[in-house]
Amino acid sequence: RAVLPGMVARGRGHIVIIGSIAGRSAFVGGAGYATTKHAVMGFAESLMLEVRDAGVKVSVVSPGSVDTAFGGGGGPRATSQLRAEDVAAAVMSVVQTPPEVLIHRVEVRILSPKRPR
């Protein structure tokens, strides 16, 4: 609400929303998480349709499992998880596209969970 009117007035801007691969499917114990991430995707899709003709981009970067304190990061699964830096690099690649190009959705995954990092 705070920045979108200015973007529309300028005829340019880029909103990047962080989604989640896990939010696209159901899993035991994940009702609340999946619900909110599905809502995020619906919001992003609607917002993109509403503002793209005004020159404002809306992108969603959806990472897989990320090694963070939220997910109990740093444990034995850490080598099969993305790092925060990986997600940041994906965001940067999305925002550095030419003005006439929109990357609306990106999924970010580990290439191979068995491959050492």
Q: Which two tokens stand for residue 35?
A: 């619900």
Containing H/E element for 59?
A: strand 56-63
Residue/partner pairs of 73-80 with CB below 8 Å, 24 or more apart: 79/116, 79/117, 80/110, 80/113, 80/114
Positions marked active-site: 33
Mean per-residue pLDDT for 18-42? 86
Which pLDDT score is estimated for 72?
A: 55
The answer on pLDDT for 85 being more than 90 is yes
The CATH number assigned to the domain with range 4-108 reads 3.40.50.720
pTM of the model: 0.83
CA distance 83 to 54: 34
Mean pLDDT value across the chain = 87
